[in-house]
A = this chain, B = another copy of it.
Amino acid sequence: MSTIREVAKRAGVAVCTVSRVLNNSAYVAPETKERIEKAMEELNYIPNELARGMFKQKAGIIAILVPNIKHPFFSSLANHIEQYLYEKGYKLMLCSTAGDVEREKAYMRFFESNMVDGVIMAVSNIEKEYYENFNKPIIMLDYFVNDNIPLVVSDHKTGGRLAAQEFINNHCKYVVHLCDEGMVNDVISYQGHLELERILHENNIKTRKVEIKWNTFDFLGFKNLAQTILEYYPEIDGVMCADIPAVAFLNAASSLNKKVPDDLAIVAYDGTYITNMQERKITTIMQQFEKFSKTVVDILIKKINKEPVENINIRIPVIFEKGDTT
């Protein structure tokens, strides 16, 4: 592989002139530029992006930290974010905590000391202090950290309201909803659960909150849980939960000869492709992955370029999609 020095020599210019052309950093006379480009072509010179990155203080890479790559929610999100980043000239580095706090910390250190221009956090189980001296532009999804860090989140409060309305329309009497273990107000999606409970209680509908292990991906575990809940509380006639447990409830109802939606109304929260891939389409509160991803990318790139960001607390609307389970 040829070097920048060889290019400079063949073009009869100084190395810094080649560097100017590569980085488009200062004026170079058109005829000189042409000579340099010809020399690059003849020598089959590939600019060393690593070196250019150092020079420009830009790596062209954005990291996203998720709890699980395989999970359809995060793989759908990463898919759209990658598309928008690619359009903007950035590559995506996809990292997973695999639910491990130590790994989350290790990645935070890596991002800080390494060659990424910005970070998207789709998980946050570390102490908030970690963010205080973090030296890279960062965007939080669904987790509130502090007023300085942009937050992009689906409008979960409306999501909870739409689900509640659907249970009311289905004349439900007792609705169970599954939420993550230890979910607190920092996790914005919890607001959907609170809103669901508030409205159902106003309408004299009983609710039961069941906490599940955070970010598990164990379908058979969910199926057993669904079956246990439905057997233990036979009067339950409505359930709101994420897509994968919603499918598990659909299967468990079938095993227990409960009719959906007459005996059990199911509302899935998220609306990944999983909900379309069943023998019956599941009613869902859909998060808008495309709009969500575009917003995240736009704000992060503004932060990287030190451009002003007007609104750093953004709610993306959710969409109610009626299926066959309500």
A residues bordering B, Cβ < 8 Å? 1, 46-51, 53-54, 59-61, 68-72, 75-76, 78-79, 82-83, 86, 91-96, 98, 103, 109-110, 112-115, 135, 217, 219-220, 244, 247, 250-251, 254, 273-274, 276-279
Contact = CB atoms under 8 A, between A and B. Distances in A.
Given A86-B103, A113-B46, A251-B279, A79 B72 contact: no
Contacts of A247: 277
Contacts of A82: 69, 94-96
Contacts of A79: 68-70, 96
B69 A72 contact: no
A93 B59 contact: no
A94 B93 contact: yes
A115 B59 CA distance: 9
27 contacts: A1-B135, A46-B109, A46-B112, A46-B113, A49-B113, A49-B115, A50-B53, A50-B115, A51-B54, A60-B114, A61-B93, A69-B79, A69-B82, A70-B75, A70-B78, A71-B75, A72-B72, A82-B94, A91-B93, A91-B110, A92-B93, A220-B276, A244-B277, A247-B277, A250-B279, A254-B279, A277-B277
A83 B112 contact: no
Nearest to A220: B276
Contact of A276 (B60, B76, B219): B219
Contacts of A115: 49-50, 53, 59, 61, 115
A255 to B, nearest CB: 9
Contacts of A112: 46
Contacts of A1: 135
A46 B250 CA distance: 51
